[in-house]
Amino acid sequence: MRKPIIAGNWKMHKTVQEAKDFTKALADMVANSQVEVVLCPPFTALAAVVEAAEGTNIAVGAQNVYWEEKGAFTGEISPGMLKEVGCKYVIVGHSERRQYFGETDETVNKRVKAVLNEGMVPIICVGETLDEREQGITEKVVRTQVEGALKGLDAATVAGLVIAYEPVWAIGTGKTASEEDAQGVIAYIRSVIKELAQDSADRVRIQYGGSVKPANIVGLMQQPDIDGALVGGASLEPESFGGIVKGAAGA
């Protein structure tokens, strides 16, 4: 049985104070939820969210990481630093990182291994662009991304990962993949994992991401292979994010 996981990616939003206020407001809404709840604030608010989330069932994740442990890498943050501050999860390979910051399948793989080395869980993002979807190469694209991200990992490790299928054309656009489309690609991703790391395919959790809201979460969660959501815009208000967690728990 895979425990559903709903993660909020705040991107470059929220001051420390706003992050604290949000976390306190959300904590009551998601108390006793059967769903795993994760908040991924900007680096500057990580410590504050960890503190505000203490004693609640909210876990904390970072939005990115560098793969080296320390050194002359100005502006970067190491896995050990994230672990020390209290992160349990790290988003790796988000399409905005791939699009604006030169992230490749190779650097995603380095980050995944570095996160795992510190005992944290990577949330690995994959997904096709609109152009790739229109060319009919969605499966080829996500296969390449999944194979690249998981390179060198054993089956037991793969079982503990979280993968987020996020079609790029659905991120922040208000366009959600249909439940059937999302289910189809996510089932395909699971089949790729079965080829790579047999036993782990039934255990690895795969989220959908792309304009998820309280209004569409239930239908998505009713799909057999969808184990949760990575949420951007709708994770910025406690009411909408809490509504998504509630919908996922009830689906």
Q: Which residues are catalytic?
A: 94, 166
Nearest to 89 by CA among 143, 49, 144: 49
Rounded distance between C-alpha atoms, residue 61 and residue 11, angstroms: 12
CB of 31 to ligand PEP, least distance (A): 24
Tell me how far, at minimum, the Cβ of 240 lies from ligand PEP, in Å: 10
Q: Which of residues 103 and 166 has its CB atom nearest to ligand PEP in the complex?
A: 166
Task: Compute the least distance from the CB of residue 93 to ligand PEP, in Å.
Answer: 11
Nearest 5°: CA angle at 89, between 127 and 165?
A: 15
Six-digit token string for 174: 């208000």
Sequence-ordered list of residues with C-beta below 8 angstroms from that of 10, at least 6 positions apart, any chain:
19, 39, 40, 41, 42, 45, 63, 235, 236
For residues 197 and 234, which CB has a smaller minimum distance to ligand PEP in the complex? 234
Ranked by CB distance to ligand PEP, the top (closest) residue is: 232
Q: How many CB atoms lie within 10 A of CB 105?
A: 17
Least Cβ distance, residue 80 to ligand PEP (angstroms)? 25
Could you give the 3-state DSSP secondary structure of residue 16?
helix
Smallest distance, ligand PEP to C-beta of residue 141, A: 17
Identity of the residue, 201 or 238, whose beta carbon is nearer to ligand PEP in the bound complex: 238
Site of interaction with ligand PEP (CB under 6 A): 9, 166, 171-172, 209-212, 230-234
Q: Which is nearer to ligand PEP, 201 or 231 (CB)?
A: 231
**Cα 189 versus chain centre, distance:** 15
Q: Which of 112, 220, 118, 114 is nearest to 166 (CA)?
A: 220
* Cross-strand bridge partners of residue 126: 165
| Cβ nearer to ligand PEP, comparing 9 with 200 | 9
